[in-house]
Chain A
Amino acid sequence: DAGVTQSPTHLIKTRGQQVTLRCSPKSGHDTVSWYQQALGQGPQFIFQYYEEEERQRGNFPDRFSGHQFPNYSSELNVNALLLGDSALYLCASSLPGSSGNTIYFGEGSWLTVV
């Protein structure tokens, strides 16, 4: 049973460019959340997708957008990259419903903006 998979694992972009990160949730999970984790910090919630719609959003600018596909996989897009966007981007999946459900994280995508 594959867990949460993310791609690419590492990438380097130039300031002003755009980036797309991809995520496949754990088998059977239909809810996908994205987090940004800067070095030495805890993850910060970006947004969550369920049934192909953005269900909730954290305190991130509109440069951060996403999409969920019918197979529950998801993309995170960041436009007009800034140096401060350099971070580990984590995708997490879970089952809907109980707030006690385990949240499974992928290995993350390391984004470096130069």
Chain B
Amino acid sequence: AQTVTQSQPEMSVQEAETVTLSCTYDTSESDYYLFWYKQPPSRQMILVIRQEAYKQQNATENRFSVNFQKAAKSFSLKISDSQLGDAAMYFCAYRSYFTNAGKSTFGDGTTLTVKP
């Protein structure tokens, strides 16, 4: 079974600065997807960014980018120019490409605080 580990329960960043959230995972599969979700106080789960394991290029969505290291099984999220609205809990998630009916395995989350 796959596991996802987020080793930073809490992180803080100054507004306009850059922060990196860590995620590692364990799998024996070669094809899979990785996701970062944001969960603000409203509890709604919002997809931030996704990465296909077969792609070497790191995914980027505006101020959000990932550093995907397949051999190291690492998938960190970088938030540039942090904004107050970025404050939330962030979850890393893994999903198999071919199996498991699209089920996702989630990490325990990192709570991000943005200081004005």
Q: Do A and B come from one complex?
A: no
- Taking Cβ atoms with an 8 Å cutoff, the residues of A that contact B are none
